[in-house]
Amino acid sequence: MKACTTIQRLRKPKILDMSIFDWVTSLLAAAIVAYYMGIHGYLKLTLFFIAWTLTGILIHAELGVNTMFGYYLGLNPKPKREECA
Confidence of residue 81 (pLDDT cuts 50, 70, 90): confident
**Tens digit of each residue's pLDDT (9 = 90 or more) over 20-74:** 999 999 999 999 999 999 999 999 999 999 999 999 999 999 999 999 999 999 9
Based on the number of CB atoms within 10 Å of its own CB, is 82 exposed (0-12), middle (13-18) or buried (19 or more)?
Answer: exposed
Q: What is the pLDDT of residue 83?
A: 82
**Contact 78/68 with Cβ under 8 angstroms?**
yes
Hey, where are the domains in the chain?
Answer: 6-72
Answer whether 19's CB lies under 8 Å from 30's CB: no
Question: Which pLDDT does position 82 carry in this prediction?
Answer: 81
- pLDDT bin (cut points 50, 70, 90) of residue 78 is very high
